[in-house]
Amino acid sequence: MSETVTAPAGKKRNVFARIARFFREVVDELRKVVWPTWNELTTYFVVVIVFIAAIMVFTGVLDMIFDRIVMWGLA
């Protein structure tokens, strides 16, 4: 974790200094990120797309089953 340094009790930094410090800390944290390689990225992308497609099929099948049950009950 990054260390945070606070201003002395009686002194408050101005808003622009706090905004600049925030962006410096954001950049520092982004430098620590381990970015995926292109192969990892494409693999993750394919896994997510396949998972979403499977959930869509599962939900569609359940919808069709419940639709048939409801229509059978109303008939």
Residue the block writes with tokens 């048939």: 68
pTM of the predicted structure, to 2 decimals: 0.57
Interval 60-69: pLDDT, tens: 999 999 999 9
In this predicted structure, what is the pLDDT of residue 70? Answer: 92
User: What pLDDT does 47 receive?
Assistant: 98
User: Which pLDDT does position 13 carry in this prediction?
Assistant: 79
Q: What is the pLDDT of residues 9-32, one digit of tens each?
A: 557 779 999 999 999 999 999 999
Give me the residue spans of the domains in the chain.
15-74
Q: How far apart are CA 20 and CA 73, in angstroms?
A: 65
The secondary structure of residue 34, as a DSSP letter, is -
Tokens 């069709």 belong to which residue?
Answer: 64
Residues 6+ apart with CB under 8 A from 7: 13
E strands, the chain, are none
Whole-angstrom distance, CA of residue 64 vs CA of residue 74: 15
